[in-house]
């Protein structure tokens, strides 16, 4: 058992100390002692969301958080939580969002993908026509798409379109698909949003 004295420490230090102590052990118990409500709430949130067992007690004006790491509980890396993929399919028909000024459309597309990262990841992104440019090496939303893929989203790029724009070699994420598969995804019963 390991005791960590976080008395007198301000947020976020108690969380960092507790996290570090739990990372150092394979299994066992860490008692984190804090003396203010913010630190108490924050350490509690950290432990609960990381999947550890936790009990709390208050004595002599301090909070004692007893956190147990056992086999099979407590994934230490909780920065990127795995989300369920919601059953939404996006069909991108262009590399810009909406019709109008080209540079505005590009900015809006970046903003769209940034926002998408805040929601549950969609099941599939389908890219047709100039939409395939979203998944090439030079794409300004490549990083966002990669993050969605990490969280379970599938990316399908239209092969005919990649051929037409001569971009097949530059496809950086996802796999090449055909119209039949695109159609299957559109009629498979998921919610299809066309952009």
Partner 1 sequence: MGPEVLAQVLRDLPSNTDPNLLVGLDTSDDAAVYRLNSELATIQTVDFFTPMVDDPYLFGQIAAANALSDVYAMGGTPLMALNIVCFPSCLPPELLGDILKGGAAKVSEAGAIIAGGHSVQDDEPKYGLAVTGVVHPDKIYSNASAQAGDLLILTKPLGTGIINTGIKADMVEQEMIDKAVKTMATLNKDAAAVMVNVGASACTDITGFGFLGHAAEMAKGSGLSLTVFAEAVPVLPGAKELARMGIIPGGAYQNRKHLGESVFVEEGVTREQVDILFDPQTSGGLLIAVKPEQAHKLLKELHQQGVLESQIVGELKEPEDHLISILRRDYRYERD
Binding site for partner 1 (CB under 8 A): 10-13, 15-16, 19, 36-38, 41-47, 49-50, 78-81, 107-108, 111, 114-115, 117-118, 143
Name, in order, each residue with C-beta under 8 angstroms of 72's C-beta and a sequence gap of 6 or more: none
CB 143, min distance to partner 1, A:
8
CB 51, min distance to partner 1, A:
11
Nearer to partner 1, 105 or 159 (CB): 105
| C-alpha 101 chain-centroid distance | 31
Of 29, 25, 23, the residue nearest 76 (C-alpha): 23
Nearer to partner 1, 37 or 169 (CB): 37
Q: Which of 11, 83, 158, 161 is catalytic?
A: 11
CB 176, min distance to partner 1, A:
29
Nearer to partner 1, 57 or 117 (CB): 117
Residue 11 appears among annotated catalytic residues: yes
CB 173, min distance to partner 1, A:
17
Number of H helices, E strands in the chain: 6, 9
Beta strands in the chain (DSSP E): 2-5, 28-34, 53-59, 62-69, 86-92, 122-127, 154-158, 175-177, 191-194
Nearer to partner 1, 44 or 123 (CB): 44
Strand order in the sheet with 86-92: 175-177, 154-158, 122-127, 86-92, 191-194
Q: Which residues are catalytic?
A: 11
């Amino acid at each position: 058992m390991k005791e960590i004295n976080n008395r007198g420490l301000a947020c976020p230090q108690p969380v960092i100390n507790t996290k570090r102590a739990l990372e150092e052990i394979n299994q066992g118990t860490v008692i984190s002692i804090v003396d203010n409500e913010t630190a108490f709430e924050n350490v509690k949130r950290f432990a609960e969301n990381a999947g550890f067992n936790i009990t709390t007690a208050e004595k002599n004006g301090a909070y004692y958080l007893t956190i147990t790491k056992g086999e099979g509980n407590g994934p230490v890396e909780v920065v990127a939580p795995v989300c369920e993929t919601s059953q939404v399919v996006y069909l991108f028909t262009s590399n810009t969002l909406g019709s109008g000024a080209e540079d505005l459309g590009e900015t809006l597309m970046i903003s769209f993908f940034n926002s998408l990262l805040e929601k549950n990841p969609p099941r599939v992104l389908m890219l047709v026509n100039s939409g395939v440019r979203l998944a090439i090496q030079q794409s300004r939303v490549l990083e966002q798409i990669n993050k969605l893929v990490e969280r379970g989203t599938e990316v399908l790029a239209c092969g005919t379109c990649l051929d037409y724009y001569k971009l097949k070699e530059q496809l950086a994420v996802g796999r090449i698909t055909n119209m039949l598969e695109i159609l299957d995804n559109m009629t498979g019963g998921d919610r299809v949003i066309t952009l």
